[in-house]
Amino acid sequence: MGMTVPGESGEGKAMSDINVVPLVDVMLVMLIIFLITIPVITQTVKVDLPQVANQPTKTKPENITVAINANGDVFWNQSRVPNDQALLDLVKSVAVQEPQPEIHIRGDVQARFASIGRVIYLIQRGGVVKIGFITEPDRGLR
């Protein structure tokens, strides 16, 4: 089979080569078994799934963009907001509109989390329900 017993052939030493024929036989049998069983396992009920397309969010004219730069300055649709009370007044003025607009937050990557958190808190206090974040897609530059 796989080795020679000393004394039978007269050499007196064991055969050091590995016999791979049984290993190949076992692997071929396993391959055949997998090739036969995989199509049976993967069969499912035939259904027509709905087709969807992932489209980026389109900015509606009633959406409001609040931007926070790296220094923590807040901008309401490209105009700088001088303080927190002015931002709260702006939010309260749009919160009563029907339908209520969405507020999209654009935070600079270098902005402090406290600045963005303060803006979110003021928007919630003002009564706006829908808040979203605008981000850049990851293009694998890192």
**How far is the C-alpha of 77 from the C-alpha of 90, rounded, in Å?**
11
Is residue 68 a part of any domain in this protein? yes
Q: What is the mean pLDDT of the chain?
A: 81
Is residue 82 a part of any domain in this protein? yes
Is residue 113 a part of any domain in this protein? yes
pTM over 0.85? The answer is no
Is residue 50 a part of any domain in this protein? no
Is residue 80 a part of any domain in this protein? yes
Which domain covers residue 94, as residue numbers?
64-133
Q: What is the pLDDT of residues 102-128, one digit of tens each?
A: 999 998 888 899 999 999 999 999 999
Is residue 98 a part of any domain in this protein? yes
**How far is the C-alpha of 122 from the C-alpha of 87, rounded, in Å?**
7
Question: How many structural domains compose the chain?
Answer: 1
What average pLDDT does the segment 28-39 reach? 87
* CATH number of the domain encompassing residue 77: 3.30.420.270
